Amino acid sequence: MDFDGISRRGLVMLGCGKMGSAMLAGWLKGGLAPSAVHVIDPHPSDWLRAQGVGVNGPLPADPAVLMIAVKPQMMQAALPQVARFGGGGTLVLSVAAGTPIAAFEAAFGTGTRVVRSMPNTPAAVGKGITAIVGNGDAGADDLDMAEGLLSAIGQVVRLDSEDQIDAVTGVSGSGPAYVFYMIDALAAAGEAEGLPREMAMQLAKATVAGAGALAEAAGETPEQLRINVTSPNGTTQAGLEVLMDAEQGLAPLMRATVKAATGRSRELRG
């Protein structure tokens, strides 16, 4: 990403926890000057203080980007600190869960360019995927800048409307927890068949991580990859006959899981 515009005008981060720190590390590695970054955080980490960025100091008058990365319960108290950046000069980019674009438009005023994003926790190791959507004032250049910044923590997809955020939450936002649970379940099943606990967990973690990496790298679909490793009347087929049961298998369970998470996201949004 070209950081020239940000380097000239500056980037303000409201909050810099695990997600913000992962992004900042990516930007600095990509060539953003530490002097261009200004962080507001009541409890800055030792790592953050060691990066050479501004921490709880003077802010630029007209930053290129305001990154909002505070917890939802802190939002109401935090936004007044940066409300003066509203009105169009600064792109407001939110990675905060649960706060809709309308809330930022109300806080920053008319004409504010807002891009809302929904990252997920693998962003902490640069393997996340983030969905973005802009308001009516955000143009193509704003979405390009948001995508460039968020690419520091993984892949980025663009939504057609903010309403899709709920489904994104159900799939990729909550999805890592589903996979973690699957790892636990797979390891427990291996242990039940006689494997030592630690070995079963190692096998389960590596299998899920490796299969995911292969699915992303291969030119074939996940369906075809499954077919490739399934010998007729073999061990994999025996396992898949249970997993692919139309009524009690994984597919109906995942549909119910994502539907429940998506529905809860809609309820929380009100």
Tokens of 199: 């070995």
Alpha carbon distance 110, 116 (integer Å): 16
How many angstroms separate the Cα of 64 from the Cα of each of 16, 115, 188, 236? 18, 13, 50, 53
Residue range 62-90, pLDDT digits in tens: 999 999 999 888 888 899 999 999 998 99
Alpha carbon distance 61, 53 (integer Å): 17
Residue 270 has pLDDT above 70, yes or no: no
The confidence score (pLDDT) of residue 97 equals: 84
Residue 154 has pLDDT above 80, yes or no: yes
Structural domains in the chain plus CATH codes: 4-168 (3.40.50.720), 173-269 (1.10.3730.10)
> Which residues are within 8 A (CB) of 181 and not within 5 positions of it... i.e. 6 or more apart?
none
Cβ of 187: how many Cβ atoms within 10 Å? 22
**Rounded mean pLDDT, 120-149:** 95
Residue range 178-223, pLDDT digits in tens: 999 999 999 999 999 999 999 999 999 999 999 999 999 999 999 9
Alpha carbon distance 3, 107 (integer Å): 27
* Structural contact between residues 213 and 220, judged by C-beta atoms closer than 8 angstroms: no
The confidence score (pLDDT) of residue 245 equals: 96
Residue range 1-10, pLDDT digits in tens: 889 889 999 9
- Provide the whole-model pTM: 0.92
Average pLDDT score, the chain: 95
Residue range 38-69, pLDDT digits in tens: 999 999 999 999 999 999 999 999 999 999 99
**Rounded mean pLDDT, 229-236:** 96
